[in-house]
Structure 1
Amino acid sequence: MRSSYIWALLIMVAIGGWLASGQVIIGGQGDKPGPSDAVEAADGALPVDADASDDSKPFRVRVRTLSAIDRTAELKIRGRTEADQRVELRAQTAGLVERIDAQKGASVKAGEVICKLEAGSRDAHLLRAQAGVEQAQLDYDGASQLSEKGYAAESRVRATKAALDAARATLSEMKLDMERTSLQAPFDGVIDDIPAKIGTLLNVGDLCAEIVAADPLLVVARVSERDVGKLEVGMPGTARLVTGDTAEGTVRYIAPSADEATRTFRIELEVDNADHKLRDGVTSEIAIPLETTKAHRFSPAILTLDDKGVMGVRTVDDDNRVGFEPVKILGNEDGTIWVSGLPERVTVITVGQEYVIPGELVEPVFETARNDTQAGAAASEGVAGDVAR
């Protein structure tokens, strides 16, 4: 029992001594870094004052003065290339394929023969039709002369005239059928496929070849309801293909109504493809420049939040007092962001913004210019390096 009393007494003495020392640490709270600690952590090149930890001195932060620059907003849309025209060249009369005058992938001009069908008995039918016209013409001329002399009735003249018209119609039909044995390209383009083979029979409607118009080429995409109002026919645009090719063009079509399923609007960018280098069906991105506005560009590491969760940047005024300016992100480019909402010229805190509050007096240290590579490396390591350009 005496041993238990001794241990209890020792524990009480230890607790009393700890309470008397006053060294109580409240969880989650610590001392604010010294005036140069934040800057030192980001860039060891700055000097350290011997009395830097003196609470009477303003907190030291690193700053940079930014100026607004012109930024042309771009609407970027994913799409694909598409031939301006695509036609299936089909037989309009029946016949055996006598020859094929083109091959897949070849460029053709409008009017060039692609498939030639055998004439067969069409030559004989054509001669018969021509003879029928000649005979009908003689009958009509004779009836007309007799009618003028009073030896033939007017009805006889009309009958021979009708026979002449019928013979001429038959001849025209025979000529057209003969012409249809030559299947010709309807426009300048490229042969995409030729399923017909020499010696095979093509009936009316059977496919001879598929032809696509490769110049101009279209880049088609779907635009959301929110963005379609920003576009107009005739606006310039740039198409960037996954193949690495780029092409300049103009917007030639904007759908007047949305697709019922996706609620998006079809647009077409027409680009030049005279050398047929660009292919149909390639995934692309269309970039269309919109309005030009003033904006600031810097590293996203500078951004912070205020007490209400609003995103912005901490600033320093002429009296070295901290302020807060909310911003709106407009876009990103090469590891930096574009924002609006800031004054034309503003001094922002690039290091130490998380340790100060609006209205606080600080000691600003203007950072030296660094190249983009160094600034990007600093930002990736958690340093609020400004890479404004």
Structure 2
Amino acid sequence: MALHRMFSMKTGVYCCVILAAFGLTNCHSGKATPERSGEKLTLPVVELLPQKTQLHKEYVSTLEAVRNVEIRARVSGFLEHIHVDEGQRVHKGQVLFSLNTAEYQVETDKAQAALKTAQAEAKTAEVEVSRVKLLLAKNVVSPSEMELAKAKLEAARAGIDEARSMLEAASLRLTQAHIRAPFDGVINRIPYKIGSLIEAGALLTTVSDIREVFAYFDVSEREYLGFVKNNKNLLGKGGQEVEILLADETLYPIKGRIEAMESTFEGESGTIAFRARFANPDQLLKHGSSGKIRLISVVPDAILVPQKAVFEIQDRNYVYVVDKTGRVKSRHFIPQNRVGKHYLVKSGLQAGDRVVYEGIQNIREGEAITARVVAGDSLADLPQSPAVH
């Protein structure tokens, strides 16, 4: 009897422990997944409205000076003087390099002497013509003598022209021994040192005029067509304004304008090159540097969807659209671009659609909800994440 009573007590204790554990489990489960009551869920809903939106697209670009020319020697000789230094600003006509001029000075002196000789010979020929003319008047010489004297005078005069040309050529070579700047600009690298033997055509340096710079960037055929259609009134008048991001991702403070484009598409890439011009008063931009052109385009009637409202199924984008009865239905849409924390809709959604903004993880297809409309007027003003091409 006592044994039976002890067994009954142990059984009762075990039952209490099991019931207590079951109760705790139910309590814990109740905290993790709340039961749905008979009431509808109240969720924020955004009504999609067309609005004016700016899109930023970025393109890798290379910068070139408006004028950048190679300075080459026109004549050969030993480099005698370097009058400038690398990175120095120079002015048009300023002497940059001087070659040894002794040889060219001798040639110039010889040509000048030859010119004087030719002039003396011409003078002698003139005197001879005058003498023969007097003798011909007295019938002392025949007319052929007169013709011969005149021919010698013409030859002498031609000799003067030849000698003068030789002197000009020698003087030009003498002048070309001094290499001058073709325009105002900045001197770049100088590879030669004083005493180097310079051959005709040797590259001495380059001069860059970087008061303005060109930025070249490539766009696709589709983007090219869109640009031309939206800028008909700007073509030939300075073009659309653009911005440029420098290599350190800072924005250059002065805006430029697209002013030209190539006439053919690149065969392999299918792109066409555009050229924008930027003022560079502080010479921050350098020839050969790089950056990113930021092209701003305006979409007058953009439909924007918050990214928070979007979910993906097998790499396809969906949102929950609320119908007139308050029931939700998933709808697939195709985005065109990201605009800040929103998607610009390409197709699948239209103005007037009401989209669940938050809480999409708590609803099911076809479920009825209570819509709480939130304002969507400022969607287009949020920061953007531009695409880089």
TM-score between the two structures when normalised by the length of structure 1: 0.71
Give the share of equivalent positions with the same residue, in percent: 22
Take 2:224 and 2:36, find their aligned partners in 1: how far apart are those partners?
57
Partner of 1:6: none
What letter corresponds to residue 304 of structure 2 in structure 1? R
Take 2:342 and 2:286, find their aligned partners in 1: how far apart are those partners?
34
Partner of 1:331: 337
Cα deviations across residues 297-355 of structure 1 (Å, max 9, x unaligned)?
A: 3431202469x986343233454343566544232243333335544444321134452
Cα deviations across residues 219-247 of structure 1 (Å, max 9, x unaligned)?
A: 22222333232334533221111232414
Cα deviations across residues 236-290 of structure 1 (Å, max 9, x unaligned)?
A: 2211112324142122332222334433322222211132111233331112233
Q: Contact 2:79 / 2:98 at 8 angstroms: preserved in 1?
A: yes
What letter corresponds to residue 240 of structure 1 in structure 2? L
Question: Does residue 266 of structure 1 match 2:250?
Answer: no
Q: Contact 2:52 / 2:298 at 8 angstroms: preserved in 1?
A: no
Take 2:359 and 2:283, find their aligned partners in 1: how far apart are those partners?
56
Of 154, 175, 179, the match for 1:179: 175
Partner of 1:53: 37
User: Residues 345 and 110 of structure 1: is their aligned pair in 2 closer, same or farther, counting only changes over 3 Å?
Assistant: farther
Q: Contact 1:217 / 1:271 at 8 angstroms: preserved in 2?
A: yes
Structure 2 segments unaligned to the other structure (5+ residues) = 1-30, 134-145, 229-234, 384-389
What is the SS of the residue equivalent to 1:121? helix
What is the SS of the residue equivalent to 2:87? coil
Cα deviations across residues 349-374 of structure 1 (Å, max 9, x unaligned)?
A: 1134452435x5421134589x99xx
Partner of 1:316: 322
What letter corresponds to residue 213 of structure 1 in structure 2? D
Partner of 1:204: 200
Structure 1 segments unaligned to the other structure (5+ residues) = 1-36, 42-47, 377-389
Partner of 1:127: 109
Partner of 1:301: 308
Of 340, 352, 365, the match for 1:357: 365
Take 2:375 and 2:271, find their aligned partners in 1: how far apart are those partners?
48
User: Residues 192 and 245 of structure 1: is their aligned pair in 2 closer, same or farther, counting only changes over 3 Å?
Assistant: farther
Question: Does residue 70 of structure 1 match 2:52?
Answer: yes
Take 1:367 and 1:74, find their aligned partners in 2: how far apart are those partners?
27
Q: Contact 1:230 / 1:290 at 8 angstroms: preserved in 2?
A: no
Take 1:145 and 1:226, find their aligned partners in 2: how far apart are those partners?
82
What is the SS of the residue equivalent to 2:205? strand
Q: Contact 2:211 / 2:280 at 8 angstroms: preserved in 1?
A: yes
What letter corresponds to residue 213 of structure 2 in structure 1? L
The within-5 A match list for 1:11-50 is none
What letter corresponds to residue 299 of structure 1 in structure 2? P
What letter corresponds to residue 231 of structure 1 in structure 2? F
Take 1:367 and 1:236, find their aligned partners in 2: how far apart are those partners?
35
Q: Contact 2:50 / 2:302 at 8 angstroms: preserved in 1?
A: yes
Q: Contact 2:303 / 2:350 at 8 angstroms: preserved in 1?
A: no
What is the SS of the residue equivalent to 1:194? coil
Q: Contact 1:193 / 1:211 at 8 angstroms: preserved in 2?
A: no
User: Residues 101 and 323 of structure 1: is their aligned pair in 2 closer, same or farther, counting only changes over 3 Å?
Assistant: same
Aligned residues: 324
What letter corresponds to residue 130 of structure 1 in structure 2? Q
What letter corresponds to residue 249 of structure 1 in structure 2? G
Take 1:263 and 1:292, find their aligned partners in 2: how far apart are those partners?
25
What letter corresponds to residue 87 of structure 2 in structure 1? G
User: Residues 170 and 227 of structure 1: is their aligned pair in 2 closer, same or farther, counting only changes over 3 Å?
Assistant: same
What letter corresponds to residue 308 of structure 2 in structure 1? A
What is the SS of the residue equivalent to 1:153? helix
Q: 1:185 deviation in Å?
A: 1.8
Q: 1:113 deviation in Å?
A: 1.3
Cα deviations across residues 171-204 of structure 1 (Å, max 9, x unaligned)?
A: 1101110111111122322211011212222121
Cα deviations across residues 98-157 of structure 1 (Å, max 9, x unaligned)?
A: 211111111222222111112113223323322322332343355356547735533212
Cα deviations across residues 61-86 of structure 1 (Å, max 9, x unaligned)?
A: 33234433201334421122223343
Take 2:68 and 2:342, find their aligned partners in 1: how far apart are those partners?
43
What is the SS of the residue equivalent to 1:266? strand
Cα root mean square deviation, aligned: 3.5
Question: Does residue 101 of structure 1 match 2:83?
Answer: yes
Partner of 1:347: 354
Take 2:171 and 2:223, find their aligned partners in 1: how far apart are those partners?
55
Of 112, 116, 130, the match for 2:98: 116
What letter corresponds to residue 264 of structure 2 in structure 1? S
Cα deviations across residues 10-55 of structure 1 (Å, max 9, x unaligned)?
A: xxxxxxxxxxxxxxxxxxxxxxxxxxx9xx99xxxxxx9xx9612x
Q: Compare relative contact order (CA 8 Å, sep 6+) and give the higher one, 1 or 2.
A: 2
What is the SS of the residue equivalent to 1:156? helix
What letter corresponds to residue 153 of structure 1 in structure 2? A
What is the SS of the residue equivalent to 2:200? coil
Partner of 2:151: 155
